[in-house]
Structure 1
Amino acid sequence: MLVDKVLASLGSRPNLDNLQIENAGIDLGVNTIPAYNPQTMQIGDSHIFLAGDVDAERPLLHEAGDEGRIAGHNASRDRIQAFQRKTPLAINFVDPNICHVGKRWSELDHEQSVVGEVNMAPVGRVLIMGKNKGIIRVYADKASGKLLGSEMICTKGENLAHLLAWCIQQEMRVGELLQMPFYHPVIEEALQAALYDLYSKVDTKNSGPITELRPLV
């Protein structure tokens, strides 16, 4: 594949080289990063906990904050508690935004999942803005219709990625997302189009039409 440009978002490298952590009697994993449990941040069965960029798994500020809370909680208690990690969310603040949320294409079980997408070229709002370049792809479990993840290159992608992260964390199905309100004309209509494409490929459908209003009980 020929491309015009490559964005190399390299991030940071854990500074572990001079700590001589091998002397602590712990198992060193890939690239000398100690093997640890991401739900507890504990290194093996030791009394040592990792948090933040030093573990190189999710080198992002909001993830480092969560890891610090988990590590601090467990380091100060007798009983180790495992915690559910939040839905992965990463954003490159370029124009257009490059985002991924939940599972990425490379992490999908392609026998059990389906993909919906929309090209940004004909989307009304971005046409008006003069930024009608990019694509949105959304992923779901084929059988249940549960949303799994998304990757996108588009203007205002940072906002769409947040919405999808909330939906994935709530384990929502594609049909449920399409019952939510979508205003016109907004960027979210592009996401709606991608979800319609995804909905056509999942097995689990809503009991009535997607646009059906919910009756009062």
Structure 2
Amino acid sequence: MNHDLVVIGTGPGGYIAAIRAAQLGLNVACIEKESMLGGTCLRVGCIPSKALLESSELYKEAEHSLKDRGINVGSLELDLAKMLGQKDRVVKTMAGGIGSLFKKNKITRYTGHATLIAPGKVKVDDGKTVNELESKYILIATGSQPSTLPGITLDGDRVGTSTEALKYEQVPKHLVVIGGGVIGLELGAVWSRLGAKVTILEYLDRILPTTDSEIADEAQKIFEKQGLEFQLGCRVTGVKTNRKTCDVEIADSKPVRCDRVLVAVGRRPNTDQLGLENVGIEVDKRGFIPVYEHYETSVKGIFAIGDVIGGAMLAHKAEDEGVAFAEHLVTGFGHVNYNTIPSVAYTNPEIAAVGKTEDQLKEEGVEYRKGSFPFIANGRARAMGQTEGRVKMLADKQTDRVLGVHIIGPRAGDLIAECAVAMEFGASSEDIARCCHAHPTLAEAVKEAALAVDGRTLNF
């Protein structure tokens, strides 16, 4: 079978690249080894975790917060099976939506494992039949998988990754999370809200290592008030499973006994068994595929995007790369501004950021001004009863150009979009401060933080 473009992987990067290329007139095929489209993000990552985060937060509100608003719910009962079922329905519906988009854009789908056999040639094996595809261009968008640590054996049950933590059939009595990054905090929060004791073990002396340290410190204090326990600066050396319990072994410390362990220590690229050696592509020491300008690998006509090339392992980063790849391939133009890619942790409160952290600016010797505004002084946050956190804005001392925005608070993941757009257009803090924001809205906190850069907040 001949195609103009063959995309390996149907995660956010792969399926978006395929759709954009098809819109631009290419004959496109997509290869996916799983029966369900959407990749890790849709099947066992972003989407199902957000469904559980939302459900668990509603449960927590019903248990503690609604009575303060005069809403008495009576006896409260958790139906975990139904909650998991709602999560699965969301995933199934969205995966079906990608299938419909493929049909709409006349994208050919092949199910099976893809192997590069030569430049311009890919083999697809579904276990029963083998198809050989020929294409002028090949795009690798195979994503990533959870990493583990030496001494830890993942059994897919009591010691598992985020995949298993999305489908526990019972609420753990004591869940130990190894890793204090976004994934560990999000899933730790889910099971804590539903009744588990949650202990988070982190090798570093802080949580959320890539987050602005001031925001991360505030987040830890909030999460501790919510019941999460943290042990920082501890090196996990192994996990010993007993008949009904697990002992998480820590160097120079007593082991922590629990009934389930979630290993959330990062992700590694899916570059094994792709046949890269057949075409002469060498990965780096961490398994990532090196790419040059416009995502082309060392082999002409073979490209790669998303988690397999490193950088921020974010679905929207892969999507933007997919669009830029397809547009450059057809039109000769395509670009991603990596300085304005936002990140979000969907904890409660949410944590979102775009641009440089204060730590990075200090390290780089950049002179800056800082403005901060707390949600406790925001009318909408008060009305919602969600007043923890703040907006922090960093601007160049000489030019006032916004260099970074960091938010911890309600709907931070939505609020950061305004900041990303502002930075994409080279806005100053004064530009944001001069824009009229509707009242009462959470977005007013962004405006007030911009005003704070110049020391002239109006409501704090």
Q: Which residue of 2 aligns with 1:189?
A: 444
1:49 Cα deviation from its structure 2 partner: 1.1
Task: Work out which of the residue numbers 135, 159, 163 in structure 1 matches 2:414.
Answer: 159
- What does the per-residue CA deviation read over 1:7-56, in whole Å, with 9 as the maximum and x for residues that have no partner? x976643111333535644453351212223x511225743211122223
Letter of the 2:335 partner, please give it: F
- Contact between 2:320 and 2:336, CA under 8 Å: does it hold in 1? no
> 1:186/1:75 Cα in 2 relative to 1: closer, same or farther (>3 Å)?
closer
Superposed CA RMSD: 3.2
Equivalent residues in 2 for 1:28-177, closer than 5 Å: 28-37=283-292, 40-44=294-298, 46-74=300-328, 83-85=335-337, 87-108=340-361, 109-177=364-432
Q: How far apart are the structure 2 equivalents of 1:175 and 1:120?
A: 20
Cα deviations across residues 190-210 of structure 1 (Å, max 9, x unaligned)? 222211111349xxxxxxxx9
Q: How far apart, in 2, do the equivalents of 1:114 and 1:46 lie?
A: 46
- Same amino acid, percent of matched pairs: 24
Aligned pair in 2 of structure 1 residues 172, 9: CA closer, same or farther (>3 Å)? farther
Contact 1:49 1:75 in 2 (8 A): no
Pick closer, same or farther for the CA change 1:149–1:10 going to 2, 3 Å: farther
Displacement of 1:172 after TM fit? 0.9
Give the Cα–Cα distance (whole angstroms) in 1 for the partners of residues 311 and 371 of structure 2. 28
> 1-side partners of 2:348 and 2:314: how far apart?
20
Kept in 1: contact 2:327–2:334 (CA 8 A) = no
Describe the superposition over 1:62-114 as per-residue Cα deviations: whole angstroms up to 9, x where unpaired.
3222222333345568xx75624362112222221111112233432343222
Hey, what does 2:123 align to over in structure 1? none
Cα deviation, 1:163-189, whole Å, max 9, x if unaligned, reads 111111110111111111023322122
Which has more helix, going by share of residues?
2
Larger strand fraction of residues: 2
Q: Distance in 1 between matches of 2:264 and 2:365?
A: 26
Q: Aligned equivalents of 1:93 and 1:26: distance in 2?
A: 36
User: Structure 2-normalised TM-score?
Assistant: 0.38
Letter of the 2:290 counterpart: A
Q: 2:416 aligns to what SS in structure 1? A: helix
In structure 2, what is the Cα distance between the partners aligned to 1:106 and 1:18?
Answer: 39
Unaligned runs of 5+ in 1: 202-209, 212-217
Change (3 A) 1:144 1:122: same
Structure 1 CA distance for aligned equivalents of residues 296 and 360 of structure 2: 25
Instruction: Specify the structure having the higher radius of gyration (Cα).
Output: 2
CA distance in 2, matches of 1:141, 1:51: 32
Aligned mates of 2:444, 2:277 — CA distance in 1:
53
| Cα contact 2:394–2:402 (8 A) shared by 1 | yes
Per the alignment, in what secondary structure is the counterpart of residue 322 of structure 2?
Answer: helix
Deviates more, 1:60-69 or 1:163-172: 60-69
The question of whether the paired residues in 1 share the 8 Å contact of 2:355 and 2:403 is answered with yes
Name the amino acid aligned to 1:83. H
Change beyond 3 A, Cα 1:21–1:113:
farther
